[in-house]
Structure 1
């Protein structure tokens, strides 16, 4: 049998009269202005924070593609240079001729060496120093070029712009590279002179750069005292914009233990024991590439810039230049990762590589 419940709440306690609300005291004009100012300031701070986040994402995360097909663009630039009969055309022709000639020999490949049969060779060695948490593990590639234009550059996704990244292995595979290292991560910044494979991509001198000439010479230069077009006219094939130069004249450069490459948002100090990548010049068409792993106690602690400079000298470099490091420091040979980035075997995306095609 259903029963209907009385839901009316009762109490034996007497009701307590509600205390009358005090009348609101009118705010003075000054108080009203102050309240409005505080409210507006809070809103402004919120908008600035949101805007700052949006700006940072746009500047350092969201890809901005300026050239969507670099391969086609370089071919077009070479054709235009050829029609104009410029020095760049001579460089492009030399590169094409060398690429053709390099295929006429019989290439030989082992786990650590490569010889294209036409004068270009790669010899990779592993060097371990120290013990315990002071252990340092590095990978050294001694490279001889039959022609300076055999050393090429490639961009992530075959695109030029900011925040476009792929792993060194992926970029190397896309370009049939037998040997590759990470480049200068040009896409992290919007300044610097960027010339790759004889083609100008950016002309905004800001720091100490490294120029590879088609005749095999390599030199450190001040980007702010020249232009990209002048460099190409002088025979520059590739440039790197990171640094600093760590060896000049066979000597460690003074003050490199205090250099900051960039001071822009999101960039960290390059000092202390760090994973490193560097390129050194032994002689014309004779280079040495070094990748030092780090931040992995017991496997590799990393090195300071002065220590990196001495490593380069020990391997015959008379000029050496620091490239992007940290998790970007990567060496790839015959399709396999040579080093162990951060001791985890995981590559971090980068915007560009230097490589030798098969």
Structure 2
């Protein structure tokens, strides 16, 4: 028989081990929470006045109709000395299979008319405002959400001819001063080289939706980010995409989703088909979900998440008044 004293010692050791394990688990969970808050919530401002920064750095920078079964109704248009914008609404399907999306057919007189702006006029991680608020702060007549660069610390970020980040990681989209727009491999070049080649703006999200006008293979399985909280962009979702018709002729598409009966959203292949039907030869997916927003002439065009529930984002592309 084991002496009572030894039993007590053994029991004490077991209790201490359990307590120690619980403390370690708590500390581990606390550490994970702190990391997650720092990574996804806490603002990390790198440049607090982007307008002034761009001004100081600028010297170093060198209506189609969708082929669908339902009618496309042109809601409104805008013509200025620098751009021609036509906004259309498309609704297809019925019941829970209904899809509603918005098309902005844009012709620019000058490629630099398409500009970018950051939330709070600041560059860094986790800095957000809604697309509408950023648009209004920059006197935009038209705007869409950008690539949500502030969710990650990788990618090449060139905005309005100025470099903000040079950490190539994925397929990017480059808008050039001569009006051309190209998908490129960020890991095969540098921001400096892109500037030298005439890049004006870049986006870092993806994937590319069309290859020489044909739907790209495997796009429904793409993962843009593999970090916690944003593993995939698969399935039927709200979407935002940019298509290229010709030099200085672009189409911007925002698909509403997650609202059965109004708009269920589309898969990546479905989005590619929309862009192809609009006549795009190059098309590129950018941040979607609750971020998918189109703004025009002081108002929301689409209906984010079925209730005009704009989600904050870190950046927009816009055309000024």
1:312 aligns with 2:279: no
Q: Deviations over 1:174-233 (max 9, x none)?
A: 000000000000001111111100111011111111111111111111111111111111
1:52 aligns with 2:57: no
Equivalence for 1:99: none
Measured after TM superposition, the shift of residue 345 of structure 1 is 1.0
Measured after TM superposition, the shift of residue 272 of structure 1 is 1.1
Question: C-alpha separation between the residues in 2 aligned to 1:308 and 1:111?
Answer: 21
Higher strand share: 2
1:332 aligns with 2:295: yes
Question: C-alpha separation between the residues in 2 aligned to 1:283 and 1:30?
Answer: 79
1:245 aligns with 2:208: yes
Question: C-alpha separation between the residues in 1 aligned to 2:234 and 2:304?
Answer: 18
Equivalence for 2:83: 120
User: How do 1:92-131 residues align onto structure 2 when only pairs under 5 Å count?
Assistant: 112-116=76-80, 118-131=81-94
Correspondent of 2:105 among 120, 138, 142: 142
Equivalence for 2:69: none
Measured after TM superposition, the shift of residue 333 of structure 1 is 0.2
* Structure 2 SS opposite 1:312: helix
* Structure 1 SS opposite 2:209: strand
Is 2:215–2:269's contact at 8 Å kept on the other side of the alignment? yes
Equivalence for 1:36: 16
User: How do 1:165-180 residues align onto structure 2 when only pairs under 5 Å count?
Assistant: 165-180=128-143
With normalisation by structure 2, the TM-score equals: 0.92
Root-mean-square deviation (CA), in Å? 1.6
Measured after TM superposition, the shift of residue 33 of structure 1 is 4.8
Question: C-alpha separation between the residues in 2 aligned to 1:160 and 1:27?
Answer: 62
**For structure 2, which runs of at least 5 residues remain unmatched after alignment?**
63-73
Which protein has the larger Cα radius of gyration, Structure 1 or Structure 2? 1
Deviates more, 1:310-319 or 1:24-33: 24-33
Measured after TM superposition, the shift of residue 35 of structure 1 is 4.0
Question: C-alpha separation between the residues in 2 aligned to 1:229 and 1:27?
Answer: 71
1:61 aligns with 2:41: yes
Is 2:75–2:88's contact at 8 Å kept on the other side of the alignment? no
Measured after TM superposition, the shift of residue 34 of structure 1 is 4.5
User: How do 1:246-325 residues align onto structure 2 when only pairs under 5 Å count?
Assistant: 246-325=209-288
Measured after TM superposition, the shift of residue 43 of structure 1 is 0.8
Q: Deviations over 1:305-345 (max 9, x none)?
A: 00100100111100000011011000000010000001111
Question: C-alpha separation between the residues in 1 aligned to 2:56 and 2:17?
Answer: 58
Q: Deviations over 1:39-68 (max 9, x none)?
A: 222111100101111110111011111100
User: How do 1:219-230 residues align onto structure 2 when only pairs under 5 Å count?
Assistant: 219-230=182-193
* Structure 1 SS opposite 2:236: coil
Deviates more, 1:259-268 or 1:315-324: 259-268
* Structure 1 SS opposite 2:150: helix
* Structure 2 SS opposite 1:306: helix
Correspondent of 2:124 among 139, 145, 161: 161
Measured after TM superposition, the shift of residue 37 of structure 1 is 3.3
User: Which has the higher relative contact order, 1 or 2, with Cα contacts under 8 A spaced 6 or more apart?
Assistant: 2
* Structure 2 SS opposite 1:140: strand
Measured after TM superposition, the shift of residue 32 of structure 1 is 5.1
1:344 aligns with 2:304: no
Is 2:254–2:302's contact at 8 Å kept on the other side of the alignment? yes
**For structure 1, which runs of at least 5 residues remain unmatched after alignment?**
1-22, 82-87, 92-109
Is 2:118–2:315's contact at 8 Å kept on the other side of the alignment? yes
Equivalence for 1:353: 316
Q: How many residues align?
A: 308
Q: 1:38 to 1:330 in 2, by over 3 A?
A: same
* Structure 2 SS opposite 1:231: helix
Measured after TM superposition, the shift of residue 36 of structure 1 is 3.4
Is 2:148–2:313's contact at 8 Å kept on the other side of the alignment? yes
Measured after TM superposition, the shift of residue 27 of structure 1 is 4.7
